[in-house]
Amino acid sequence: MSELLVVRPGPLTTVQDLGRRGVAHLGVPRAGALDEPALRAANRLVGNDPGTAALESTLGGVALRALGPVVFATTGAPAPVRVDGRAAAWGAPVAVPAGALIDIGAATHGVRGYLAVAGGIAVPPVLGSRSADLLSGLGPAPLSVGDRLPVGPPPSYRPAPDLVPLPAPPVELVLRLRLGPHTDWFDPWSVARLAREHYRVAQAGNRIALRTEGPAVARARGGELPSEGMVLGAVQIPPDGLPVVFLADHPTTGGYPVIGVVPPADLAFAAQARPGTPVRFVPLRGR
């Protein structure tokens, strides 16, 4: 079994797959890649199954030394790729020999990059997933210098696709919003204003939630709800009135009213929206 030695972990690099499904009733968050299409694309490029564990980097990239020959591919936030100091392809499979230094630079656009290797990152699974969960602490810790990451056996031969198209990181983040279940906690004009106003991605966001800056959403009633189950994409309105969009490491319960839920397909764009990116909520009518 080959290994990857962490030379530069970057600001935040974690192991992620498609997360822990079906365990929220145990109080365990889902975790998993924030940009699922990018993870799936990286795995497709190296011949892995779509949900195979890979690395998710944040803004600053990551550098790894291959302790055996590997094939890797990078997707997600575009970034310069170098192997032993020489430019290599982004968004395509790259074969490297044992001892090679794989260096993914800082993202030029977007936030989160994905590095998949043929065979996957073979850290031990916890509750059916190899994902790092920053809220509960389940799974492997974020990468540190000197970590050795096991690589699984290469998959059976699959012809690599010539192109895996992915959308560019958003210039404006447009989030569709299925209203409810607590829309009645807000005046109708507040809900209508949410659709008209423009927000921005706040600096304080993380893998748990995307936070926004902009006009406060006024409530129609005081007090708080008893804690209840939360779902991926739920948009909570805390006491400061600024919408918070729950991402993959979100808590399984919460007590602030939820004005609506963002469909999972839009959350990949949220994963790549840098602080300061304009945000617009678009309420969906009907089912």
pLDDT of 168 reads 85
What pLDDT is stored for residue 24 in this prediction?
81
162 within some domain: no
Percent of the chain clearing pLDDT 70 (strictly above): 97
pLDDT the model gives residue 188: 85
For 213-239, the pLDDT digits (tens) are: 999 999 888 777 888 989 999 999 999
For residues 142 and 208, membership in a common domain is answered with no
Give the pLDDT confidence of 58-74 residue by residue, as tens digits: 999 999 999 999 999 99
Same-domain pairing of 86 and 13: yes
- Range(s) of the domain holding residue 56: 3-150
Is residue 164's pLDDT more than 90? no
pLDDT per residue over 71-88, tens digit each? 999 999 999 999 999 999
Question: How much is the pLDDT for 192?
Answer: 87
**Whether 116 and 179 share a structural domain:** no
Is residue 285 scored above 80 in pLDDT?
no
The pLDDT of residue 286 is: 58
Mean pLDDT score of the chain, rounded to an integer? 93
Is the per-residue pLDDT at 163 higher than 90?
no
For residue 158, tell me if it sits in a domain.
Answer: no
- 9 plus 124 within the same structural domain: yes
Q: What is the pLDDT of residue 166?
A: 81
- Residues 131 and 180 grouped into a single domain: no
Q: Are residues 19 and 134 in the same domain?
A: yes
CA separation (Å) from 246 to 124, 133, 266? 27, 14, 12
- Same-domain status, 12 and 128: yes
The verdict on 200 and 95 lying in the same domain is no
Beta strands at 148-150 and 54-58: parallel, antiparallel or unpaired? unpaired
Residue 199 lies in a domain: yes
Kindly state whether residue 39 falls inside one of the protein's structural domains.
yes
195 plus 266 within the same structural domain: yes
| Selection from 76, 30, 20, 36 nearest residue 246 by Cα | 30
Look up the CATH number of the domain holding residue 233. 2.40.100.10
Given 117, 150, 183, which residue is the final one in a domain? 150
39 against 255, higher pLDDT: 39
278: pLDDT strictly greater than 80? yes
Total of domains in the chain = 2
DSSP the chain: --EEEEEE--S--EEE-S---S-GGGT------SSHHHHHHHHHHHT--TT--EEEEESS-EEEEESS-EEEEEEES---EEETTEEE-SSS-EEE-TTPEEEE---SSSSEEEEEETT-B-PPPBTTB----TTT--SSPPP-TT-EEEBPPPPSP-PPPS----PPPPSSEEEEEEE-SSGGGB-HHHHHHHHHS-EEE-TT--SSEEEEESSPPPBSS-S-PPPEE--TTEEE--TT---EEE-TT--SEE-S-EEEE--HHHHHHHHTPPTT-EEEEEEEP--
> What's the pLDDT tens digit per position in 87-143?
999 999 999 999 999 999 999 999 999 999 999 999 999 999 999 999 889 999 999
Residues 214 and 249 in one domain: yes
Residues 63 and 191 in one domain: no
Task: Quote the radius of gyration of the chain (alpha carbons, Å).
Answer: 20
| Domain stop point among 150, 165, 192 | 150
Q: For residues 191-214, give the mean pLDDT.
A: 93
**pLDDT confidence band for 52 (50 / 70 / 90):** very high
Same-domain pairing of 73 and 201: no
